[in-house]
Amino acid sequence: MSAAMKRLSPREQRRLLEKMGLSVKPLENVVEVQIRLTDRVITLKNPSVQVIEVKGGGRIYQVSGEESEIPLVAQVEFTEEDVQLVAAQANCSLEEAREALREAGGDIAKAILILSARRRS
């Protein structure tokens, strides 16, 4: 094994980091870490979290753990008045109108078109 590939002991790693102006400390009792993105949530269960403090005031969090992803579903908002309008225009039940509005992302015209197309088929 070459000198460049030599493994460092934890003590050597700590000393090297201290020379670079960094200190590493574990963050204890962490149960879960969540990273929220626009389209999903990444959850790390039973994570190992290290806090790397930089001289001069910065902090870096190093996180590793068992990963799971959950896609985010956008909540569609519409009023009861919208539901009644769609139901009246498409000649359907209120529940069918609600379902069509959810499918259409709250767009009334699109919901009416969806219901009309279903009636034709």
Query: Average pLDDT, whole number, for the chain?
Result: 88
Burial class (CB in 10 A: 0-12, 13-18, 19+), 17: middle
Residue 1 inside a domain? The answer is: no
Return the minimum-mean-pLDDT range out of 20-29, 70-79, 101-110: 70-79
Task: Give the residue numbers spanning the domain of 114.
Answer: 80-120
Within this chain, do residues 64 and 18 fall inside the same structural domain, yes or no? yes
What average pLDDT score do residues 74-89 get?
Answer: 90
- pLDDT tens for each residue of 99-115: 999 888 899 999 999 99
Q: Residue 7, SS3?
A: coil
Given this model, what pLDDT does residue 2 score? 56
Q: Residue 84, SS3?
A: helix
Which residues sit opposite 4 in a β-bridge? none
Residue 108 inside a domain? The answer is: yes
Listed residue (102, 85, 104) closest to 94, CA to CA? 85
Within this chain, do residues 67 and 88 fall inside the same structural domain, yes or no? no
Given this model, what pLDDT does residue 118 score? 87
Given this model, what pLDDT does residue 90 score? 94
